[in-house]
Amino acid sequence: MCGIVGYIGNREVYPILIKGLRRLEYRGYDSAGVALLNKKGDLNVYKRKGKVSELEAFASASDTTGNMGIGHTRWATHGEPNDVNSHPHYSQTKDLVIIHNGIIENYSAIKEGLKKRGHTFLSQTDTEVLIHLIEDIKQHENMKLGHAVLAALNQVIGAYSIVVMDKNDPNTLVAAKKGSPMVIGIGTDEFFIASDASPIVEFTKNVVYLEDEQVAIIRRGEELKIRNLKDKEITPYVQKLTIELEAIEKGGYDHFMLKEIYEQPRSVKDSMRGRLNAEKGEVKLGGIVEHEAKFKNAKRIVFIACGTSWHAGLVGEYLFEEFARIPVEVEYASEFRYRNPVIYPDDIIIAISQSGETADTLAAIELAKSKGATIVGVCNVVGSSIARATHAGSYTHAGPEIGVASTKAFTAQVTVLTLMALHVARLRGTMAESRFIFRKRIYFPCCIRGGFKIKRDFLHTR
Ligand code: GLU
C-alpha cells in the first residue's frame, strides 16, 4: 500500500507534502508526485518515477508555492511505473486532480462509457478513470465537488483512499476511503490528510480516522464535514494520537528494522503488561473476559491473517491446540474471503493484523461475521479498522513498526497469542494447575502496572 498526504491551511504546502511523503517511504513505492494550487490559481502537478528525492530534483526549478496541495507515493497496480502513470492524475479539463491508493475493480467498464462521452485518457491507470468520472458527474449533474465524489464512488467497486482538489475551489479538499486507511489531522485553521498518522503527528494530535464509505469535505476555516455514501451527515469522532514523533523516527539506528529488533525486549514486555500476574500464575486479557463462555464452548478456532500475521497464526495454532485443546485452522484471509468457507455460529475467528487495516483480513472478518461467528482481533494500531470491526480483541502494544520486514510486531503477536491460549486453557481446565507455576524468577520493577504487582517470571508451561 502506498502513501497519501494532503494539506490545506496557511503554511507553505510543498515542504509539508515532501516531508510527509518521506515519512511514508517505508511502505515502498515506485513513483511520487504532488499537486499544488498557488495563489494565482495555477494548479501545478509534478510527478516522477523513482524516489521522492528525484521528484524534488525535478520540481526544484519550478513554482512550488501554494498553501493547499496533495502528494502521493505510488505502488503500481494498473499500468507500469512511469512518469505518466504516476499520481496525481488530472480530469478531462485539467481542473480536478486526484491521488488514490487502492484498486478500482470496475474501471474498465467505466472507462469505456466515458470514452463514448468524449473523454480521452493519458495513463493506463484505474485512478485516472475515477477523476474523469467525478468531473463528468460534476458537470452533468451540476454538483459541488463533494457530492460529485460521493455520486462517483457509488458507481465504483473496489478499494480506495482518495483525495481530490479543484482548481476553481481553493478552499476545499475532498477525501474518501474504503478499504485503505485515511487519517485527517485537525489543526488551528488547517487540516492534514494522510494514509497513516506518521506525516501528521508533528503538527497535531487531534485526528479523525475516516471509516469505510465516508467522504470528508475539508474546507479552509470551517469545521470538518463527513458524509457517508448514502449522503447522510456523520459527526466526526476526534481522537487523540498517542504516538510521539520520536517513536516513528530512527533514534540513532541506521535502519528502522534494526531499531525495531532492539526494541523487542520492551515491546514484548509491553504486550504482557497488566495481563500477567506471574506470582499467581494468572493470565487475563480484557478482550477475552467478555467472551469467556464462547471460548469455553468453542468447537473450533479459525485464524485469518495475511503475511507475517499469518505466520503468527501458525504459531497460534500450536499454542491453542497444545494448551487449550481446541482444534485450530489457519487461513490466508485473501483465500478465505473469495471462497465459500464453512463457518458455524459457535466458531471463534481470530483475525491478526499489525496495522489493523489489512483489506483482505477486513473482508474476511465481515464474511465470518455475516455467518454469526465471534470475531476476536489481535492488532497493533489502536482504533484501527480491524479493532473496530471485531467483537473483541487484544492490542499487541508493540508501538509503530516502520520496517517492512516485521520483527517486533511479530513477536508481540506471538506474545499475545500465548497469553490468549493460556487464558483459554485455564478457562477450559485443559492444563494442569501445576503447569502454571514458575521455573525461574527475574525481577522487572517496571512491570508493576495495571493493578498487578508483577514479578516477571517465565510461565512454566511444559
Ligand atoms: N491503482 C492505482 C495505480 O495503479 C493506485 C495504486 C496505488 O495504490 O499506489 O495507479
Closest of 18, 5, 14 to residue 66, by C-alpha: 14
Domain CATH for 126: 3.60.20.10
67 lies in some domain: yes
Same domain assignment for residues 258 and 219: no
CB 138 within 8 A of CB 172: no
CA of 126 to the centre of ligand 1 (A): 7
**What type of residue is 352?**
I
**How far is 444 from 442, CA to CA, in rounded Å?**
7
458 lies in some domain: no
396 Cβ below 6 A of ligand 1: no
Same domain assignment for residues 215 and 268: no
| 224-258 per-residue burial string, b: 16 or more CB within 10 A, e: under 16 | bebbebeeeeeebeeeebebeeeebbeeeeeebbe
Same domain assignment for residues 144 and 202: yes
Per-residue pLDDT of the chain (462 residues; tens, 9 = 90+): 579 999 999 999 999 999 999 988 876 788 999 999 999 999 999 999 999 999 999 999 999 999 999 999 998 888 888 999 999 999 999 999 999 998 898 999 999 999 999 999 999 999 999 999 999 999 999 999 999 999 999 999 888 999 999 999 999 999 999 977 899 999 999 999 999 888 999 999 999 999 999 999 999 999 999 999 999 999 999 998 877 777 777 767 888 899 899 999 988 988 888 888 777 778 888 788 889 999 999 999 999 999 999 999 999 999 999 999 999 999 999 999 999 999 999 999 999 999 888 989 999 999 999 999 999 999 987 778 898 899 999 989 888 788 889 999 999 999 999 999 999 999 999 998 877 776 555 443 333 333 333 323 223 333
134 Cβ below 6 A of ligand 1: no
Same domain assignment for residues 173 and 206: yes
**How far is 9 from 384, CA to CA, in rounded Å?**
27
Helix (H) or strand (E) holding 289: helix 286-289
Same domain assignment for residues 223 and 298: no
22 lies in some domain: yes
Domain boundary among 241, 259, 278: 241
176 lies in some domain: yes
**What type of residue is 27?**
R
Domain boundary among 189, 220, 241: 241
60 lies in some domain: yes
**What type of residue is 239?**
Q
**Residue in 125, 130, 157 to alter for ligand 1 test, most ligand atoms within 8 A of Cβ:** 125
**Residue in 72, 73, 74, 84 to alter for ligand 1 test, most ligand atoms within 8 A of Cβ:** 74
Length of the chain: 462
**What Cα–Cα distance (Å) separates residue 204 from each residue in 3, 80, 144, 239?**
19, 36, 29, 11
CB 31 within 8 A of CB 47: yes
Range(s) of the domain holding residue 310? 250-439
Q: What is the pLDDT of residue 461?
A: 33
CA of 442 to the centre of ligand 1 (A): 50
Same domain assignment for residues 236 and 303: no
What is the pTM (predicted TM-score) of this model? Answer: 0.68
Query: For the chain, what is the total number of helices (H) and then of strands (E)?
Result: 14, 24
**How far is 147 from 24, CA to CA, in rounded Å?**
29
Same domain assignment for residues 320 and 389: yes
Helix (H, G, I), strand (E, B) or coil at 447: helix
Same domain assignment for residues 231 and 294: no
22 Cβ below 6 A of ligand 1: no
Alpha helices (runs of H) in 320-358, residue ranges in sequence order: 333-336
84 Cβ below 6 A of ligand 1: no
pLDDT digits (tens, 9 = 90+) for 12-64: 999 999 999 998 887 678 899 999 999 999 999 999 999 999 999 999 999 99
Same domain assignment for residues 42 and 104: yes
Q: Please count the structural domains in the chain.
A: 2
**How far is 205 from 346, CA to CA, in rounded Å?**
40
Grid coordinates given for 231: 449522503
103 Cβ below 6 A of ligand 1: yes
Same domain assignment for residues 379 and 233: no
311 lies in some domain: yes
Domain CATH for 264: 3.40.50.10490
**What Cα–Cα distance (Å) separates residue 242 from each residue in 17, 178, 450?**
22, 24, 18
Same domain assignment for residues 286 and 409: yes
pLDDT digits (tens, 9 = 90+) for 333-365: 999 999 999 999 999 999 999 988 898 999 999
Nearest ligand 1 atom to the CA of 86 is 10
Domain boundary among 241, 262, 278: 241
Q: What is the pLDDT of residue 30?
A: 87
74 Cβ below 6 A of ligand 1: yes
448 lies in some domain: no
Same domain assignment for residues 29 and 151: yes
77 Cβ below 6 A of ligand 1: yes
449 lies in some domain: no
Helix (H) or strand (E) holding 107: helix 107-116
